[in-house]
Amino acid sequence: MRVLLPVKCFDRAKSRLSGVLEPAQRAHLASLLLHDVLDTLCSSSLVSEIWLVGSEPGLVPLAGEGKIRLLPLSRERGHAADLTRALELLPLRPGEPVLILPADVPLLSPAELRELAGAHRGGGLVMCPAACDGGTNALLFEPPLPMPLLFGDRSLSRHRQAALERGVEVRVLDLPGLSRDIDRPEDLCWLARQGRGGLSRGYARRLLA
């Protein structure tokens, strides 16, 4: 599978943590969260390519490292519009699915990637919910995109309805490592308490110490 990761510029990321973190801390956290996700994706034999979608300057040195590629879209048009454009720019590979993930799910595991791939073997659309707001933290499908992208609060139900209206089979998987993205102070506290994790967990612990 190929993976699309939308990445907001680090100096504008994690605005909902502005009450507890300084701008430089939020930027560093966003960078570490991305690197944790990339480490998991790069270690999986199921992932053939990882496409970073965004204009953050820190993405440039990553492009070309192993599986990592860059689509330098500005995100000025919005999250959904840039991902839709990214899908249009991806080279066609019939039969190979595309996975859209957020760049801030640091507890994503290789086992969960295998679960996603297994759930997609029958085709259709596989989705994973966000734990807190009914959002969509994973979309796996074979291009072309089977319905419009409708990210935001309660987007899982809207994505599901849009797919079903177009006759697309939908499977929803509730995977712990994909359910919690790190956006709010309570998410940061949750990350610091986890028994496993990468660089971002260690940084969260230092921030809260």
Give the domain ranges of the chain. Answer: 2-208
**Is the predicted pLDDT of residue 92 greater than 90, yes or no?**
no
**Is the predicted pLDDT of residue 195 greater than 80, yes or no?**
yes
Cα 55 from Cα 71, distance rounded (Å) = 8
Question: E strands along 114-175, which residues?
Answer: 125-129, 136-141, 170-172
Question: Once rounded to an integer, what is the mean pLDDT over residues 82-106?
Answer: 93
Q: How many CA atoms lie within 13 A of 161 on its CB side?
A: 6
Question: Once rounded to an integer, what is the mean pLDDT over residues 29-49?
Answer: 98
Confidence of residue 75 (pLDDT cuts 50, 70, 90): low
- CATH fold for the domain made of 2-208: Spore Coat Polysaccharide Biosynthesis Protein SpsA; Chain A (3.90.550)
**Is the predicted pLDDT of residue 94 greater than 80, yes or no?**
yes
Per DSSP, helices labelled H in the chain are 23-43, 79-89, 110-119, 155-165, 176-179, 185-193, 199-208
